[in-house]
Amino acid sequence: MKTISENACFGGTQGVYSHASAVCQCDMTFGLFLPAEAKDGPVPVLWYLSGLTCTHENAMTKAGAQVWAAEHGIALVFPDTSPRGEDVADDEAYDLGKGAGFYVNATQTPWAPHFQMWDYIAEELPKLLGKNFALDMERQGITGHSMGGHGALTLAMNLPGRFLSVSAFAPIANPTASDWGRKQLTAYLGEETAKWAKHDATLLMQETDFDGPILIDQGASDQFLDLLMPEALAGAIAAKRQQGTFRMQPGYDHSYFFVASFIEDHVAFHADALYAG
């Protein structure tokens, strides 16, 4: 693992690191904020999964989460959204290829050799973090924005016991029924739709739910609202009687101005679960 940068930040440290990923077969970069409490021992962990076109850097610099994580003594992990490198397959469209890993393990050509983002987030990166930093991997929460909200919800529901809480900002909520999901799932996983179900938060909620609290914020003026399909997930949450809060926020769009406006609530929401757990 290589240290790219480390900066003092709200009494803690905002670092950026890279490492050779065995599952993605390329170098991967991630950001990690450690609060001051990490100097004295392991601290709880909150994952932030970013959306389409993003790297590790977008949320790290735009969401404003560190000040609230420092207040609660929580570490923040900012992974990249896809593999990178000259030999990594890409596409001219912004919603496929580099910057658009969709947090799945691709099985189709040309994506399969590198686009193993599910295993990277679920297995490889957590092991690396637990080995190298003062993190309490028994106390983890996960959140994300857009494609990252999709990833956060599907990881949380597919990995029972891993995360104590999950939240999302404008998640891609029902990708198997959306044009903004069917394209990517077909490209990465093939046309057998049964293989898509574990990557659809609405379908997962209907079948399995989540053993913990959920918080979802959605901007009512989101320009991608019809593609995100939040009403499908909200309906599934209500039908399952899941412990959860779904908030439609008037006037807000899909940008990081929206995320930054409500990140304090999300960090506090996760802190309640992480320190109670």
Helix, strand, coil shares of the chain, percent, nearest 5, are 40, 25, 35
Instruction: Provide the 8-state DSSP code for 244.
Output: E
Would residue 254 show up in a list of annotated catalytic residues for this protein? yes
Q: What are the φ/ψ torsions at residue 141 (nearest 5 degrees)?
A: -125, 165
Indicate the pLDDT class of residue 209, thresholds 50, 70 and 90: confident
Residue of 72, 114, 254, 266 marked active site: 254
Q: Where are the domains of the chain?
A: 2-274
Q: Which two tokens stand for residue 54?
A: 């993003």
Indicate the pLDDT class of residue 180, thresholds 50, 70 and 90: confident
**Architecture of domain 2-274 in this structure:** 3-Layer(aba) Sandwich (3.40)
Beta-sheet pairing, 75-79 with 43-49: parallel
DSSP string, 110-168: TTTTT-BHHHIIIIIHHHHHHHHS-EEEEEEEEEEBTHHHHHHHHHHHHSTTT-SEEEE
* 53 has a pLDDT exceeding 80: yes
Instruction: Convert the pLDDT of each residue in 5-17 to its tens digit.
Output: 999 999 999 999 9
pLDDT value of position 19: 98
pTM equals 0.97
pLDDT value of position 179: 86
Could you tell me which residues are beta bridge partners of residue 19?
28
pLDDT value of position 277: 59
Residue of 146, 165, 167, 178 marked active site: 146
Instruction: Convert the pLDDT of each residue in 110-147 to its tens digit.
Output: 999 999 999 999 999 999 999 999 999 999 999 999 99
- Extended beta strands in the chain, E state: 2-9, 12-21, 26-34, 43-49, 75-79, 135-144, 165-169, 214-219, 244-249
Percent of the chain with pLDDT over 70: 100
Residue of 50, 222, 266, 270 marked active site: 222
